[in-house]
Amino acid sequence: MNKTTIFFDMDNTLIDRMEAAKLTYRHILKYSNIPDEDHDAVFNTMWSLDDNGEYPKSKIFEKIASEYHFDDSWVKNMTDLWFATLPEYTIVFEKTVSTLKQLKSRYKIGMITNGSFVMQSRKIEVANFSYLFDAIVIAGEHNLAKPQKELFLLACDKIGCLPQEAYFVGDSIKNDIYGSFDVGMSPIYIWRDDSRKCPLENIPHIYTIEEVLEVIPWQ
């Protein structure tokens, strides 16, 4: 079946979530009441627990709170500050916009992103690239999350394509690759660590967003 559509994940696919998260942890340490001389050690602890955003932030701050004997209100304040701050550090990968512009000459372009509606909407606003998408689906708005099939099917319905007519580009094996494959999309795995062998050999994979242009027809 001919492909008409390309869906993208957002975090660590179109925007550099890892760098934004590091900057956010550094930012909130300024308001943490933790001694300056401990900031590097605490940052390393938080980053080691982050797990690319999969580990609950409240659990991270609970661990820090137990070490410094902070109360539950500190945990809540740090958690709230994290979610308020992260979108403001949104960093769009250098070739994201130019790649999407090229692809729009041939495909409909969509986005399916996990996360809360408020936070992901703010990231999109800061990134200033919503005009490039024919449909944007934020999981939190629908009380769903990748890899749930319903979310991928909802996005297909919104953009006007069958799952079999769509590619899906993402960085999470569970959420993006398996999730999109299960509904009949053709996944493309973005694996940014070129120092190690890609763990998925039977799925097309790329190291940078612009390499999408090399693995699918777009002219």
What number is the average pLDDT over the span 31-51?
Answer: 96
- The stretch 31-38 carries a mean pLDDT of 97
Tens of pLDDT, residues 132-146 = 999 999 999 999 999
Per-residue pLDDT at 218? 66
What pLDDT sits at residue 219? Answer: 59
Cβ(92)–Cβ(129) below 8 Å: yes
How sure is the predictor about 203, in pLDDT bands with cuts at 50, 70 and 90?
confident
The average confidence (pLDDT) of the chain is 94
Ranges of each domain in the chain: 5-16+92-215, 17-89
Order of strands, sheet of 186-190, starting from the edge strand that comes earlier in the sequence: 135-138, 108-113, 5-8, 166-170, 186-190, 205-206
pTM (two decimals): 0.93
- Which percentage of the chain shows pLDDT scores above 70? 95
Q: Report pLDDT for 54.
A: 87
**169 strand-pairing partners:** 8, 188
Mean pLDDT of 122-130: 98
Q: In terms of residues, how long is the chain?
A: 219
Residue 57 host element (H or E): helix 57-68
Classify the phi-psi angles of 55: left when phi > 0, otherwise alpha if psi is within -120 to 50, otherwise beta.
Answer: beta
Query: What pLDDT does 199 receive?
Result: 65
pLDDT at 192: 73
Q: What is the pLDDT of residues 152-197, one digit of tens each?
A: 999 999 999 999 999 999 999 899 999 999 999 999 999 876 655 6
The CATH code that applies to domain 5-16+92-215 is 3.40.50.1000
Q: Specify the pLDDT at position 1.
A: 81
